[in-house]
Amino acid sequence: MAWRTIDRTKVSPEEMGPGLSAAVREKIQAFFPRYPTKQAALIPALHIIQDALGYISLQAMEDVAELLELHPSQVMDVVSFYSMFWTHPRGKKTIMLCRSLSCELMGGKNVRDALVEKLGIKEHETTDDGEWSFMTEECLAACEHAPCMLINEKLHKCVRVEDLNRILSDPDNDKLEMPRSDLFDAPRTAQT
Amino acid sequence: MAFERILMKHVDVPNSTSLSVYKSDGGYEGAAKALQMKAEQVVELVKEANVRGRGGAGFPAGLKWSFLPAERDVTYLCVNADESEPPTFCNRVLMETDPHMLLEGILIAGYATRTTVAYIYMRGEFIEQFHIMQKAIDEAYEAGYLGKNILGSGYDLDCYIHRGAGAYICGEETGLIESLEGKRGWPRIKPPFPAVEGAFRKPTVVNNVETLACLPHIITRGVEWWQSLGPEGSFGPKMYCVSGPVNKPGCYEGPMGISVRDLIYADEFGGGMRDGKKVKAVLPGGFSMGVLRGDLFPKAPDGTVDPAQDYDELDARLDFDDVRRYGLLGLGTAAAVVVAEDTDIRDVLANVARFFAMESCGQCTQCREGSSWMYKMAQRIRGGAGRIADLDVLVEVTQNMGMMPGESICGLSDGAAWPIRTIVQKFRKEFEQHISAQAPDAAAEWIRRVNPAAYGLPIAQGRAEVMPGGTFYRPDSEPDTVEA
Ligand SMILES: Cc1cc2nc3c(=O)[nH]c(=O)nc-3n(C[C@H](O)[C@H](O)[C@H](O)COP(=O)(O)O)c2cc1C
Ligand code: SF4
Ligand code: FES
């Protein structure tokens, strides 16, 4: 849970961040027929925005509120509730490491410590070169492969500390090679 | 035991996600048969088979469907694929290997409940699974198993995937509905139950992935086959998960009611403990259901073992009723995490307590405050600054939260209370040993460190002083530091 309040009179344009492009709007509008209300398209919309921008900027919140006929505060209410949505820019690749019990029992803590040391960042931070962001999550529902972590959309299984150098230096460590639907197609398209 | 795998029959089949493979051994025959029956007949059949929900609560699916009001134009079906209960992953395996089995189940349940739109609420971290399911849905639309006039029956059904965004509470059925509507996943006060007023204020059925995947087989194989598996009251096949330091962690299918010992040690399941270690504890139904002792559990207060009445608890059978004899809340998700003998139980307590402190949605005071209070205590105990009194306070807190004392909106707080209470009660001796091995002023020292404002205050005056105010978990801060 997190609550945030913002004094709108004092927000500079830089802080507002980028808004929605026409393509993103179109993609969001394609979700409208699925639901009886426009509001229901909010979470898919936020996924689409985060895929395009890398995070949910204040401007994007205002834009999507207008698009879905909501108040911006309703959008921020939702953004702040869900742990997958970032309200500040992320690196190109986000590591989401499981910290739940099976992974911890299989050595997840050592992996976390090694990652924090290698990347030199704390949770929810981004490396200076804009490459990596790091966070931990509760169980990723892949406990048979403990300890595991997601890099963007790819799941790395049975990660050992010795493997980390290899995983981090692999340029394809975040790519999911499979037939994919274009409904949610990123974060491939992110940070263009 | 020659058990025929039903739900996982395609796990080792190459290309099992495609429609052609699924259809090659009887796929969509159950749906075809169901669509020729009357909707009420399907409900009756499922009722007769006594299909109890696999999502955690074990509520009979047929009964749930029959609560829908008779007069209704629109009905929604929400498929609960949120699967966030650690350490559960059977729904993931099912969707990964056999998406069409789920779609067939959705079609049958949808037809029986006259559903117009089915939403699969899938947790946001399931990305690979999303693409697999979406591809299967596209295939099913093309082949006429979804869409208009399905198989010439005149029945229309649309099916969409709704991706969540990382919140355990959206697995709770009304939290799921709120999240589907584009809001915070805040559970609703019941009644009205979703069957009467659910998604978009319309009658709604929420069912788990595995529950729905069972339906095609009940239709094709009949009620008798279903009831031949598992003990009275908990029929059917079940997907079990086992993880932690076992030789073969994974998802396995068996009849209802296998014992925890089999799940860990049998060759067809977990295959024994790694390095021949002993089991210290098992959380056999996901976190929320509580803990079992894996070693001998002395009942006498002084800890002496009496072989006549002391036993470990691994003989608990995993069905809806037997686990309750061991002080568990229920079967839950039948996903066991095994803790080996060399693990510090304080780490387990802290991990479990953190999960609930982080995932409480914050609507009910006792859940929000209780879970984070317990997490702070667990952190302190783990940090070597616990007090014997903390153990009593932990138990007291757990007794005052949850739906059972009637204090909360949803079941998360019961799910938080149960494991913490059972861990503290069943492993109290070990906690006491750790605490008595601490330096005598460790607890006081901890408070000076985390809450300088309390410096110099006598700590025995009450609980308020030992609870640093305004602190919350920050992953890299151990112990907690005060935030402005
Ligand atoms: C806190 C909480 C979390 C839950 N999480 C899940 C979940 O992740 N998946 C699930 O299928 N059911 C979950 N449930 C159970 C659902 O509320 C509901 O009982 C279930 O989806 C009903 O489906 P079933 O009758 O087919 O079991 C959860 C319940 C609670 C109280
Ligand atoms: S019990 Fe906890 S999770 Fe459930 S509604 Fe209340 S605060 Fe939220
Ligand atoms: S505990 Fe790490 S994926 Fe489940």
- Contact (Cβ atoms closer than 8 angstroms) between residue B158 and residue B56: no
Q: Please check whether residue B467 lies inside any domain of the structure.
A: no
Q: What is the pLDDT of residue A87?
A: 87
Query: A181 to chain B, minimum CA–CA distance in Å?
Result: 6
Clarify whether residues B223 and B242 are in a common domain: no
Question: A154-156 and B76-81 as β-strands: parallel, antiparallel, unpaired?
Answer: unpaired
CATH number of A14-81: 1.10.10
Lowest mean pLDDT among A3-17, A79-93, A157-171, B121-135: A3-17
Rounded average pLDDT over B342-352: 93
Q: Please check whether residue B476 lies inside any domain of the structure.
A: no
Distances (CA, A) of B76 to A44, B112, B181, B188: 19, 12, 12, 17
Give me the residue from B132, B339, B355 closest to A100, CB to CB: B355
Of B340, B360, B378, which marks where a domain is finished? B340
Give me the residue from B131, B180, B283 closest to A181, CB to CB: B131
Clarify whether residues B249 and B389 are in a common domain: no
Between residues A176 and A150, the one the model is more confident about: A150
Clarify whether residues B62 and B179 are in a common domain: yes
Q: What is the pLDDT of residue B454?
A: 56
Clarify whether residues B183 and B272 are in a common domain: no
Largest CA distance in chain B: 80
Instruction: Based on DSSP, count helices (H) and strands (E) in chain A, helices before strands.
Output: 8, 4
Of B299, B323, B340, which marks where a domain is finished? B340
Which residue, A186, A133, A28, is CA-closest to B130?
A186
What average pLDDT is seen over chain A?
Answer: 88
Q: What is the pLDDT of residue A153?
A: 87
Clarify whether residues B278 and B304 are in a common domain: yes
Q: Please check whether residue B157 lies inside any domain of the structure.
A: yes
Residues of A in contact with B250 (CB under 8 A): 144
Clarify whether residues B147 and B177 are in a common domain: yes
Q: What is the pLDDT of residue B309?
A: 67
Q: What is the pLDDT of residue B455?
A: 55
Can you read off the two tokens belonging to residue B320? 């809806």
Q: Check B181 against A39: CB less than 8 A apart.
A: yes
Rounded average pLDDT over A157-175: 90
Give me the residue from B124, B135, B355 closest to A181, CB to CB: B135
Clarify whether residues B50 and B183 are in a common domain: yes
Q: What is the pLDDT of residue B25?
A: 87
What average pLDDT is seen over chain B?
Answer: 87
For residue B301, what are the domain limits?
237-340
Total tally of structural domains belonging to chain B: 3
> Which run of H or E residues covers position B210?
helix B209-227
Provide the pLDDT confidence category of residue A3 given band limits of 50, 70 and 90.
low
Question: Can you tell me the distance from the alpha carbon of A143 to that of B239, in angstroms, rounded to the nearest whole number?
Answer: 14
- Contact (Cβ atoms closer than 8 angstroms) between residue B354 and residue B473: yes
Q: Is the pTM of this model over 0.95?
A: no
Q: What is the pLDDT of residue B6?
A: 87
Q: Which residue has the tokens 């089995």?
A: B101
CA-B174 nearest atom, ligand 1: 17
Residue of B nearest to A65 (CA): B182
Provide the pLDDT confidence category of residue B61 given band limits of 50, 70 and 90.
very high
Provide the pLDDT confidence category of residue B482 given band limits of 50, 70 and 90.
very low
ipTM for this model: 0.91
Clarify whether residues B220 and B94 are in a common domain: yes
Question: Can you tell me the distance from the alpha carbon of B409 to that of B426, in angstroms, rounded to the nearest whole number?
Answer: 28
Q: Please check whether residue B10 lies inside any domain of the structure.
A: no
Clarify whether residues B326 and B398 are in a common domain: no
CA-B87 nearest atom, ligand 3: 4
Residue of B nearest to A122 (CA): B476
Q: What is the pLDDT of residue B449?
A: 74
| Whole-number CA gyration radius for chain B | 24
Question: A93-98 and A149-151 as β-strands: parallel, antiparallel, unpaired?
Answer: antiparallel
Query: A157 to chain B, minimum CA–CA distance in Å?
Result: 13
The pLDDT tens digits of the residues spanning B283-331 come to 998 899 999 988 876 666 666 767 666 677 888 899 888 888 888 898 8
Q: What is the pLDDT of residue B240?
A: 93
Percent of chain A with pLDDT over 90: 62
CA-B401 nearest atom, ligand 2: 1
Clarify whether residues B327 and B374 are in a common domain: no
Rounded average pLDDT over A80-109: 91
Lowest mean pLDDT among A5-9, B13-17, B114-118: A5-9
Would you say residue A188 has pLDDT above 50? no
- Contact (Cβ atoms closer than 8 angstroms) between residue B53 and residue B65: no
Would you say residue B471 has pLDDT above 60? no
Give the CATH class of A93-169: alpha beta
Per-position DSSP letters for B440-455, written without gaps between them? TTHHHHHHHHH-GGGT
- Contact (Cβ atoms closer than 8 angstroms) between residue B251 and residue B20: no
Clarify whether residues B257 and B360 are in a common domain: no
Of B227, B248, B266, which marks where a domain is finished? B227
Q: How far is CA B448 from the centre of its chain?
A: 39
Provide the pLDDT confidence category of residue B464 given band limits of 50, 70 and 90.
very low
Would you say residue B467 has pLDDT above 90? no
The pLDDT tens digits of the residues spanning B137-177 come to 999 999 999 999 999 999 999 999 999 998 999 999 999 99
Q: How far is CA B65 from the centre of its chain?
A: 21
Q: What is the pLDDT of residue B475?
A: 39
Q: What is the pLDDT of residue B326?
A: 87
B19 phi and psi angles, rounded to 5 deg: -65, -40
**B87 DSSP β-pair partners:** none
Query: A190 to chain B, minimum CA–CA distance in Å?
Result: 16
Clarify whether residues B204 and B252 are in a common domain: no
Sequence spans of domains, chain A: 14-81, 93-169
Rounded average pLDDT over B424-451: 85
Can you read off the two tokens belonging to residue A94? 């986000």
Pocket test for ligand 3, best of A95, A105, A148, A157 (most atoms within 8 A of CB): A148
The pLDDT tens digits of the residues spanning B441-457 come to 888 778 777 765 555 54
> Is residue A58 classed as helix, strand or coil in its secondary structure?
helix
